A = this chain, B = another copy of it.
Amino acid sequence: MKGLVFHGPGDIRCESVPDPSPKDARGAIVQVERSAICGSDLHLYHGAMPVEEGFTLGHEFVGRVVEVGSAVHSVRPGDPVMVSGVIGCGECPACQRGEVVRCARQQTRVFGVGQGLEGGQAEAVAVPVADHAIRRIPEGISAEQAVLLTDILPTGFLGAKMADIQPGDTLAVIGLGPVGLLAVMCAQLFGPAEILAIDSVPERLAVAEELGAHAVPADQADAVVMEQSGGQGVDAVIEAVGADATILKALQLARAGGNVSIIGVSNSAVAPFPMILPFMKDLTIRSSLVPVPALWPALVPLVAHGRLHPERVFTDHMALSEGALAYRRFDAREDGILKVLLDPSK
């Protein structure tokens, strides 16, 4: 079959790879129908996260079950399914609740980043612990929407949830890539009076306005936040970049007693962090990789009932065979590109 394979920084190729085979009785094979490129895939693309050469990338994908092991009982061949981009052992109490990041056996893994799980930017994927990782796509949810349910919509929702937004609050969201924009969309579920959406890219600011936020160019962030909050800082901040400077900015923009929610992935093993700032300001800081299946019970009905339209973030539809180009364009942020949906049948 075909897959997007890592050959070194900046070098992704669509080429033939071995067909997947089920891991064991609890595993399944999913034929991929749609897959996406995530901002965090660019860390691999840049060589910032080491991955072995020849590895197939991608952790956001949906498709159809083609084969299940003997112990799988929740899905059957032919079922249209979505696969959690992050999985755990699938059996411990935390995994049973879908909280895969708290897996008691510490088997939290992501597809397509080199932890033994080949990825979904391919024609098919072997999925272990299928009853845990796979969910039938319910009525009323499109494949395009389902792809977003496998990682970045839950991540945006987690960002909003960890920000502990109360009705009437003023919120800042730093970074309006696809995850930041979905954080804006999900934050609206918590009834804020105002969302200050901060970025330096005009196209992204425009999408945030469309989602009901007040767009704030990054270079005006301090002034606007202080003005809109009467000099207090905002009730909550969602950080969706992961850079040292934006994490520090999040601490600064929050009011005393506020919440800081960090969903941006930090590359900096040892970031400078002024611990005296949270101490003097009584801050609560939450950060986490996303426990995808734990958030499905909330998000699936919201998408199915038309309360959330995450598909708004897809700007580009390309064939899997154009994968190398897709990475290049996404990395260069060409033409206001926000997120690419890949079709393996093309």
Give A residues with C-beta under 8 Å from B: 93-94, 96-97, 99, 101-104, 106, 108, 157, 161, 166-168, 170, 186, 188-191, 193-194, 231-232, 242, 247, 255-257, 262, 265-276, 278-289, 291, 297-302, 304-305, 307
Contacts and interface: CB of A to CB of B under 8 A. Distances in A.
A193 B270 contact: no
Contacts of A255: 102
A154 B256 CA distance: 18
A101 B272 contact: no
Stoichiometry, as copies per complex, reads: 4
A278 B285 CA distance: 9
Nearest to A270: B272
Given A275-B262, A283-B287, A190 B167 contact: yes
A302 B272 CA distance: 37
A301 B298 CA distance: 27
B282 A289 contact: yes
A272 B275 contact: no
Nearest to A242: B275
A247 B278 CA distance: 13
A97 B99 contact: no
Given A266-B279, A285-B285, A287-B275, A301 B170 contact: yes
A304 B193 contact: yes
Contacts of A301: 168, 170, 193-194
A256 B168 contact: no
A302 B256 CA distance: 21
5 contacts: A108-B256, A193-B301, A269-B274, A278-B286, A282-B287
Contacts of A270: 272-274
Contact of A282 (B102, B170, B231): B102
A282 B271 contact: no
A79 B273 CA distance: 45
Given A270-B273, A287-B279, A298 B168 contact: yes
Contacts of A194: 301, 305
Contacts of A167: 157, 161, 186, 189-190, 298-299, 302
A257 B298 contact: no
